[in-house]
Structure 1
């Protein structure tokens, strides 16, 4: 069912059956709060805002599909599928469930569609669940698979019950098809009077149906699975009662045993490293099989696993010939690319892309060996990498929806305070990159209730502090304090409030926008009043009992740079006294190296960051990594690199947050980022960072931006938007088909249009 992976869900929240919220395409990305991807400023920017605002008046917000697709209550399929996926985790054969509350889909839903036909039509129906079918309130007997839709104005409705999987509907006639224009509710507040007449007044709230692209009647949503393809081992070491195979690199899928015969036991030991696969008592993943095969045959173990090495040990009465696998993957298209003059950086980009491939499944997961769960902090980084590699919006929205779950809110997302804040921020990042306003509209009510939960948990000073049941994570780091009011939590909370204000604007909820903006402003003032230490030239790490601590860490300080919370002078202080200061505790996880290096890139330190990438990610490659790890400390030796969580092989050697060079090289070296939603406008600010040349492709919602950069020339072609190329040059650059504008001494800009090729010649500074 490869066709699942493309999303067709263009939903908005409906206040009632006939009241659907819509809003303009006005770019509100700044609101004078300095959002991460800042749009154009001043009169030039305001002109664009007016243009897009006027344009939106003629652009309908919801577009119905032209063909039939399976539909359901929006978000329910994501919750159901994520529950199914996240409960596959095992450790040495034992079931290992998630740490947090799991919500469920609505088991009884009501769908309807109003139609107007000039002539009767035959319609086919397929439903997942028990169902009641009506036209104009008149029920059909039984479970019809085909009906005649009458001419004229009518309403078709289906009420569906399904406890085991999501209630879903497929309807298809010549002019009436199930799509996202159908309305659905999980509650039916209709009532009847003594005569049996149904009321014509209802308090029921309907929303547009959810869908992906199960566009065939036989493509049952409940039967979805990722595709697989056969792969052979690179090397095989067969002994009397064991087979040890190496697939050459980290991989994921189902182990297949060939020409198996006999009766007895076989044990499969998996390993991301050779040492792990050889360790019969210390490896993370072990499966035991009962073999009862009187004749030769193949056995594929029904459980997907992560491994590079597989060690199969079997009883005397059992024999087999070889071990292969079925590689399981998400068939997303890799649209982004990067190549440069440094072969090690090319290898780092390629391994980063492969790491993302492995961790892009039904959802963006943390790592393929151990958890295989949807963690919000991990996913927030995967979204950003995705925008420069796949630009696969459906996997983003699936993951965001699955993480949020349903009301009422009883805990932070994944129980982690900072992960809740990353969830908020990732929604607006999604809007900036895709321009998909309908997803904001669909998510807004759940954003509000999630924020209500956070606001209710502030302490007397209006700050966020870990309460009973809260996990304050921040990062894996020895001795890192999580006590008191931690500055990075306030930083992320402030950005979340700003995000809520922006989304409230999109929803035309002016009262809420003003409230969230005021709360964000107040918190930002407290952030600097309580935590900024002028003598330390930085924000301190935390506040205990109303007093700031002396400890300075990198976390809040690096976020403050690319959140644009600091003045230019403060940025320079933080760079010197924190980010470039070896006395400040170093970061050893790719998770937070992601943000540390982003802050340095935002400060123009591409030369330094390139060396850091070569040292850090190159260090993993030098140790034989074929995908990037959950944590890397160059001071460790040998098998120490595999240990984590008190277990000899507890570390994930394929972790999504290890793939951050994709994002850094795309955004800060090729220099491409959106400045208006969905790349309506965008900025290209190339930085070679010591490279002699580089070239690459950055995907967008409506085509690719292709770049080639040397020390004297920039070539660009773009299939979308209005771009601005920003060039640093000793002399005024030359471009034959565009005007070169001087911004300041040594800095120039060239405006570009879609569908045209540009060549800019310049003199590097």
Structure 2
């Protein structure tokens, strides 16, 4: 990269660390219509996908930014100001409704109360505005619209604009007026090979672990062709006919030239073959990354679990890019199901709100709604659920204001596609995914889809309340009615479980894990029903097993919610530890312990189709933070929260859980707990065989060996107790 590009990357990289679109900027920043930059950038990113050099675009509806946007804000000035104006696109400026001549780069604003309007047209990139005066600055408090509905009558009088829908501007703290938002790119840093095998005019380069970036050929000289075959495994890099990604170069008259490949790729191994008079001195790379800050931590007395946490963290970091993506090798697309899990992991690692809101906006796109998100019915519902959790963890109501109209139209689309019984059933163009599982039926009215719709309606009622929308009561009633149908149509007392589906109005006998485990951590079941599901489904080997980290995420969460942390630790060590034993340096899209050797790399009918670095493989981050350190918000933005540490049979655990404005620190052994939080009011919950003690905290017994203690911000509490064993 040249110096200017590095400068842009550093400036724009800061957006991953700073406040979200919903928060007020403290200085002038670039602004745009909310969500438009995310939609534009996702189009740019997702259309970089290739398969063996062939362009491979997304197969769902691709939206675009609004090409003409009006910005305005009212100011009251004690003193006149000279204001600088920068834009991306053609523009005009009005002060108090009076058009300024030309396209002024500066305007004079007198003292007093004034309104500034700037209208920008840009079809190629997002219409964006940067305004800087002494007190007049562009920030997220400006109002924007894509249709101002302005008209002029025969007398020349302009209409009022009462019918116009104004939203607060989107922004990402791009604070340099000379560096335009459309120049955004991630950061890079040099990395070097761990080993190189040279045979004639070929190099097999091993970078030591899964990585992502641009291959750099150092000292390239001569004439000829270079073929570069990438592999997440050595076998893939050596398979010139079947590796998933490659590059081909024609080199002419190179004189000791350092050449950086034009597109970034995922790889550990790179097989470089060249001919003619070409020679290459060495091979390195530019590692490309988002500069997120690791705020959540976890350590324990088990070294294997610590390794699993570290590899999970690395896996998640690799897949945290412009957005939360699915995997770094194959798709590099924004998928809602993958994104939903990434949001949850993010709250226990980076707590990076901008990447959450960017991903949600990119997924949703624009009206009109013509299909489910990513064409997948369950992925539409994960999108709603992601908003539910985002508000709980961040308390960001401004984002809810921006996204709520798109929530309404998305929910209208879903409700219009219900059948005569008020249930979701796959229609033409609908992909019902659920999970990669052999023989999993998608026919009829699948109970899992009804369960996710119910949760989505609960999200709508919450957000409608925040928006003071009278439809909140309607959404609540729809959710309650649907929940009643789920139990009436799908719950089988004899099986003590939900059945998988109804076909032609009749429930099937098939029991799968999906609906049952989600109903546990949605807290839809009674305690007796939860125990029935645990014994008859989750611990029943006759029920089809799950082989993807994607659904193991939820299966193990359900077991944690049932207090089975010791069981879950054994499963994590077996499943994720099994990937490590098979040489994983990041966690995979799918893992079946019964497979051998290169069989592990195959998927989708291709020998190397499987992603060996997939975001949903990093779920231990979430499980350790929420169910072992035991930290969960109970009201938005951690104003209140619980800490319920569980060692799961380990000698000790410790770590930090990030909050919007600080950390919750937790240490727990069988005899002692230490907790300290930077904000909010927490409740420490635990069980003890003996009466516990704390010098500076008041511990209250709540019966059956259970105790609670209030945790105030800024105070460290040390509790002496004797841990009760886990149920397993």
Class of the TM-score when normalised by the shorter of the 2 chains: over 0.9
1:730 is the counterpart of 2:689: yes
Aligned to 1:435: 395
Q: CA deviation at 1:147?
A: 2.4
Q: CA deviation at 1:9?
A: 4.4
- Rounded to whole Å, the distance in 1 between the matches of 2:455 and 2:502 is 19
Tell me if the contact between 2:377 and 2:432 (Cα under 8 Å) persists in the aligned partners. Answer: yes
Aligned to 1:470: 430
Tell me if the contact between 2:630 and 2:645 (Cα under 8 Å) persists in the aligned partners. Answer: yes
What is the aligned counterpart of 2:636 among 677, 681, 688? Answer: 677
Over 4 Å off, 4+ runs: none
1:74 is the counterpart of 2:37: no
Q: CA deviation at 1:202?
A: 4.5
Note the 1:469-488 alignment, pairs <5 A.
469-488=429-448
- Rounded to whole Å, the distance in 2 between the matches of 1:594 and 1:413 is 21
Tell me if the contact between 2:347 and 2:658 (Cα under 8 Å) persists in the aligned partners. Answer: yes
Please state whether the residue corresponding to 1:734 is helix, strand or coil.
coil
Note the 1:105-504 alignment, pairs <5 A.
105-504=65-464
Q: CA deviation at 1:141?
A: 3.0
Give the aligned length: 713
Tell me if the contact between 1:7 and 1:211 (Cα under 8 Å) persists in the aligned partners. Answer: no
- Rounded to whole Å, the distance in 2 between the matches of 1:393 and 1:285 is 32
Please state whether the residue corresponding to 1:673 is helix, strand or coil.
strand
Q: CA deviation at 1:7?
A: 4.9
Q: CA deviation at 1:292?
A: 1.9
Tell me if the contact between 2:17 and 2:293 (Cα under 8 Å) persists in the aligned partners. Answer: no
What is the aligned counterpart of 2:574 among 581, 592, 615? Answer: 615
CA RMSD of aligned residues (A): 1.1
Please state whether the residue corresponding to 1:443 is helix, strand or coil.
helix
What is the aligned counterpart of 1:524 among 479, 483, 496? Answer: 483
Deviations 1:434-465 (A, max 9, x none): 11111112211111111000000000111101
Tell me if the contact between 1:353 and 1:662 (Cα under 8 Å) persists in the aligned partners. Answer: yes
Tell me if the contact between 2:21 and 2:354 (Cα under 8 Å) persists in the aligned partners. Answer: no
1:568 is the counterpart of 2:527: yes
Tell me if the contact between 2:31 and 2:140 (Cα under 8 Å) persists in the aligned partners. Answer: yes
What is the aligned counterpart of 2:669 among 710, 719, 723? Answer: 710
Deviations 1:199-253 (A, max 9, x none): 2355222211111100111221000000100000100112221111100000000
Please state whether the residue corresponding to 1:318 is helix, strand or coil.
coil
Note the 1:508-547 alignment, pairs <5 A.
508-509=468-469, 511-547=470-506
Question: Which stretch shifts more, 695-704 or 203-212?
Answer: 203-212
Tell me if the contact between 2:326 and 2:616 (Cα under 8 Å) persists in the aligned partners. Answer: yes
Please state whether the residue corresponding to 2:390 is helix, strand or coil.
helix
The alignment's TM-score, normalised by the length of structure 1, stands at 0.92
- Gaps of at least 5 residues in structure 2 are 1-11
- Rounded to whole Å, the distance in 1 between the matches of 2:280 and 2:58 is 36
- Rounded to whole Å, the distance in 1 between the matches of 2:299 and 2:259 is 42
Aligned to 2:622: 663
Please state whether the residue corresponding to 1:384 is helix, strand or coil.
helix
Note the 1:17-96 alignment, pairs <5 A.
64-96=24-56
- Rounded to whole Å, the distance in 2 between the matches of 1:613 and 1:4 is 34
What is the aligned counterpart of 1:588 among 547, 560, 565? Answer: 547
Deviations 1:552-571 (A, max 9, x none): 10000001111111111111
Question: Which stretch shifts more, 424-433 or 151-160?
Answer: 151-160
Distance 1:201 1:522, change over 3 A: closer
Deviations 1:500-530 (A, max 9, x none): 1111112222x31111111111111111111
Distance 1:424 1:201, change over 3 A: closer
Tell me if the contact between 1:610 and 1:689 (Cα under 8 Å) persists in the aligned partners. Answer: yes
Question: Which stretch shifts more, 468-477 or 497-506?
Answer: 497-506
Please state whether the residue corresponding to 1:394 is helix, strand or coil.
helix
- Rounded to whole Å, the distance in 2 between the matches of 1:208 and 1:461 is 40
- Rounded to whole Å, the distance in 2 between the matches of 1:564 and 1:65 is 38
Tell me if the contact between 1:132 and 1:139 (Cα under 8 Å) persists in the aligned partners. Answer: yes
The alignment's TM-score, normalised by the length of structure 2, stands at 0.97
Tell me if the contact between 1:6 and 1:212 (Cα under 8 Å) persists in the aligned partners. Answer: no
Q: CA deviation at 1:180?
A: 1.3
Tell me if the contact between 2:295 and 2:657 (Cα under 8 Å) persists in the aligned partners. Answer: yes
Q: CA deviation at 1:138?
A: 2.7
- Rounded to whole Å, the distance in 1 between the matches of 2:375 and 2:325 is 16
